[in-house]
Chain A
Amino acid sequence: MTQGSLNLIFIGLSFTLYIAIALRSRAASTQEYYTAGGGVSPFANGMATAADWMSAATFISMAGTVAISGYDASRFLMGWTGGFVLLTILMVPYLRKFNKATVPDFIGDRYYSKLARGVAVVCAIFICMTYIMGQMRGVGVVFSQLFGIGIPAGVLTGSAIVFVYAGLGGMKGITYTQVAQYCVMAFAYTIPAIFIAMALTGNVIPQLGLIGNYSVGDAAVPFLHKLNAINAELGFAEYTSGKLSTMNMFCITAALMCGTAGLPHVIVRFFTVKDVKAVRRSACWTLLFIAVVYLTAPTIGAFARVNLIEKLHGTAYHEAPSWFKEFEATGQMAWMDKNNDGRIQYYGPGKSASGSFSVFQGKGPIYPAYDAPESQRVGSHGERLLANKADPSNPNELYFGNDIMVMANPYMAGLPMWVIALLMAGCIAAALSTAAGLLLVLSTSISHDLMKKIIKPDLTDREEVAYARMASFAALVAAAYFGINPPSAFIAKTVAFAFGLAASSFFPTLLLGIFTTRINRAGGIAGMIAGIAFTSSYIIYFQFLGGTVEQLLFGITPEGIGFVGMLINFFVAFVVSACTEKTPASIAEMVDRIHVPTDAGAAKGHDFEI
């Protein structure tokens, strides 16, 4: 059996499973559409939230980021897990007690204003749209690699599947499919790590292997010493030391944590469990399930880096392992023989006077057209040639993308074919689960918050769900369009945007809304607008208008500026509230009520069949 057909079988099986689950648990009422009826068990919700949270980018590229930047990548590891501590002890128990379907709902009611709700809706739509574009692109890329179809066809297939169970099944359908998707993802991620840990360190548990000995060769040396030595020899910074300034590291980590705690698609997941007590328990499960992947990522990164360098550096091209040629064909790896010795050399910035280590000029590899003459496409050693000009300032010859550390891992470790098929299925599960969760928030923001609460208050619930389905269809069409024609430079940069926006708008506004009655309508709105305005103009200036490194405020990069935006939000909210009239007594009473843990009332209010 070939790898291709095995991949097909694994993905076909997993899809059958998702669709079967979605059909069994499709929403039958509005409550089920928005919050799965509030009756999901804490354990199941934990798995679903973990799947929702870990996107295709996390699954494929995070280990690669750790492999390349070592200690510096800890900001992502801590930022994206530590945010759940804030989320759990400061946010979700209270928002669950408040018992409404969406996050803008809380902001609109707490700050008794349509304008506040409107600002929140715009933020929610922007954050979700940014994310979902990347997910659809990821699905498209994986599909096109698997089935040899074009990326557009891959994106459309993915969109159709997501629409079936997210658009039609609502929150209930999504929740139970995400449970299955988490299981696929967790196995796909950890199994290759276990094999590679056994091969390199003789330890079954990757996390112990990382701090243990490197057991290949004669004398056992500590694995991290080995990695530091390799890095130093090739001209990279030591793996365990960092390059970022402490200030920048702190701000980025803080922005990612606060951003995580303010992401609407994660918050609404906790509205699906029974009561406040269940929220607390569910959050423990969520973080535990996320930790399974996040504790494995740094081990995969470190192991794969050693493996990759040992297998490729100094190897003659014609002796390079066959997987290198496969990834060369897909454009994920490339080799440029700068010194014409026929061997692959991999060097870091320490090996050149200019301190650079880019293989070629330009951002990514560009290839000659397929109908170009063979001499332009294939080099003298049989390698795939690039259309980019070589970067002559440094001796580095090996290019690889971040996703290589996960995707090539099973090949490098010589694992059986079914592990590779499982990895493909896991990758698609990661993209689909996140896309589905985002789609639901997008559609409810539009149907519930925009249509029902702002534009047409006399909407019946039945019409509201119809609008939600239409909105999810429209959002998918837009996401598919951007998946097919990606504003690629834009997508990578907007991740900073999504987290910065969540950290400077939702997080502080929700936090103040929950814990103090001193902030009134004017303060809440002014704070949100000030935070967003500062953060987005800073990011736009440095990402798109060509701001220089010298102009950075205290050396904080755009990734971390959301933290400063958050402080500005707090400050403005307090100052403006102090100068304007007090919060009405009814709102103060409402705030007191959400601090009482019982009586969350699962299916309170009207619920009807759809």
Chain B
Amino acid sequence: MPEKNQYPIEHRRATMKVTLFLLLLWFAASYGCAIFCRDWMDTNLPAVGHAPFGFWMAQQGSILSFVLILVTYAVWMNRLDVKYGYHVEEA
């Protein structure tokens, strides 16, 4: 039974928003920058060091973005847990 002050439906809805938003970033960082718009990025965006932007995203930038996405997910979801009454005390 859900305890009082816990809101499972709201929690789930908020989680879906976070999930979809981060998936959008994930798609943009990998497929967007590094595959579909790669040529446009190479010519129109400033190079990273001496690497063309699209190439750099494909080999380095996307991986760094993935790490940041996961860190954002962990922090954000923990806040949602607290907000909707699912906070667990650290053992």
Cβ of B12 and Cβ of A207 under 8 Å apart? no
Residue of B nearest to A244 (CB): B35
Residues of chain A within 8 A of B88, CB atoms compared: 275, 277, 598
Among A3-11, A222-230, A364-372, A520-528, the one that faces the other chain is A222-230
> Main secondary structure on chain A at its contact with chain B?
helix
Return the chain B residue nearest A241 by Cβ. B55
Instruction: Answer yes or no: B74 CB below 8 A from chain A CBs.
Output: yes
With a cutoff of 8 Å between Cβ atoms, the chain B residues found around residue A66 in the complex are 59
> Once the chains bind, are A280 and B58 in contact (CB under 8 Å)?
no
Contact status B64-A291, CB under 8 Å = yes
CB contact list, B14-44 vs A, under 8 A: 15, 18-19, 22-23, 26, 30-31, 34-36
For chain B, residues 61 to 84, give those with C-beta under 8 angstroms from any C-beta of chain A.
62-64, 66-67, 69-71, 73-74, 77-78, 81
Shortest Cβ distance from residue A224 to the other chain B in the assembled complex, whole angstroms: 5
CB <8 Å contact, B64 and A295: yes
Q: Which residues of B contact A310 (CB under 8 A)?
A: none
Whether A85 contacts B66 in the complex (CB less than 8 A), given A78-B58, A596-B8, comes out as: yes
Min distance, Cβ A91 to any Cβ of chain B, angstroms: 11
| Residue pair A78, B30 in contact (C-beta under 8 Å) | yes
Q: Is the interface of B mostly helix, strand, loop or mixed?
A: helix
Contact B77 A280 (CB under 8 A): yes
- Check A298 against B60 for contact (C-beta < 8 Å): yes
| Cross-chain contact A283 with B81 (CB below 8 angstroms) | no
CA distance A213 to B12 in the complex (A): 50
Residues of A within 8 A of B11 (CB): 595-597
Contact B26 A246, beta carbon cutoff 8 Å = no
Q: Given A82-B66, A88-B73, A294-B63, are A250 and B49 neighbors across the interface (CB < 8 Å)?
A: no
Chain A residues closer than 8 Å to B48, beta-carbon distance: 211
Chain B interface residue count, CB cutoff 8 Å, equals: 41
A291 & B63 in contact (Cβ 8 Å cutoff):
yes
Which of B35, B56, B64, B70 is in CB contact (< 8 Å) with A283?
B70
Q: What distance in Å separates the Cβ of B25 from its nearest Cβ neighbour in chain A?
A: 9
Which A residues from 208 to 239 make CB contacts under 8 A with B? 208, 210-213, 222-225
Task: Please pick, from B8, B49, B52, B63, the residue contacting A81 in the complex, using a CB distance under 8 A.
Answer: B63
Checking B22, B30, B49, B70 against A211 with a beta-carbon cut-off of 8 angstroms, the contacting residue is B49
The answer, yes or no, to whether A288 is at the interface (CB within 8 Å) is: yes
A253 at the interface (CB under 8 A from B): yes
Nearest CB on B from A361, distance (A): 34
**Contact partner, A88, options B34, B64, B70, Cβ 8 Å:** B70
- A84 and B66 within 8 A (CB): yes
Q: Is the CB of B70 within 8 A of A287?
A: yes
B66 and A283 form a contact (CB under 8 A): no
Judging by beta carbons under 8 Å apart, are B35 and A277 in contact? no
Complex interface: chain A residues within 8 A of B22 (CB)? 85, 89
Chain A contact residue count (CB 8 A cutoff): 49
Are A89 and B23 in touch, CB under 8 angstroms? yes
Nearest-neighbour CB distance to chain A for B82, whole angstroms, equals: 11
A274 to B59, CA, bound (A): 34
Hey, which chain B residues are within 8 Å of A240, CB to CB?
51-52, 55
Q: CB within 8 A of A82: which of B12, B15, B26, B78?
A: B26
User: Are B50's CB and A224's CB within 8 A?
Assistant: yes
Assess the B86–A288 pair: CB atoms within 8 A: no
Minimum CB–CB distance from B68 to chain A (whole Å) comes to 10
A284 in contact with B63 (CB, 8 Å) = no
Q: Determine if A77 is an interface residue (Cβ-Cβ < 8 Å).
A: yes
Most chain B CB within 10 A, of A82, A224, A257, is at A82
Complexed CA–CA distance, A608 and B28 (Å)? 48
Please name all residues of chain B whose beta carbon is closer than 8 Å to the beta carbon of A211 when the two chains form the complex. Answer: 48-51, 56
Question: Quick check: is A74 within 8 A (CB to CB) of the other chain?
Answer: yes
Report chain A residues within 8 Å CB of B34.
74, 78
Contact in complex: A595, B8 (CB < 8 Å): yes
CA distance A592 to B12 in the complex (A): 9
CB-based nearest A residue for B69: A85
Seen from chain B, the residues whose Cβ lies within 8 Å of a Cβ on chain A are 2, 8, 11-12, 15, 18-19, 22-23, 26, 30-31, 34-36, 48-52, 55-56, 58-60, 62-64, 66-67, 69-71, 73-74, 77-78, 81, 86, 88, 91
Q: What would be 15 A-B contacts, judged by CB atoms less than 8 Å apart?
A: A71-B59, A74-B58, A81-B62, A89-B73, A90-B19, A207-B60, A211-B48, A211-B56, A246-B35, A274-B91, A277-B78, A281-B74, A284-B67, A298-B59, A596-B11
Closest 8 A-B residue pairs measured CB to CB? Answer: A211-B49, A222-B50, A74-B58, A280-B74, A298-B59, A211-B51, A240-B55, A284-B70
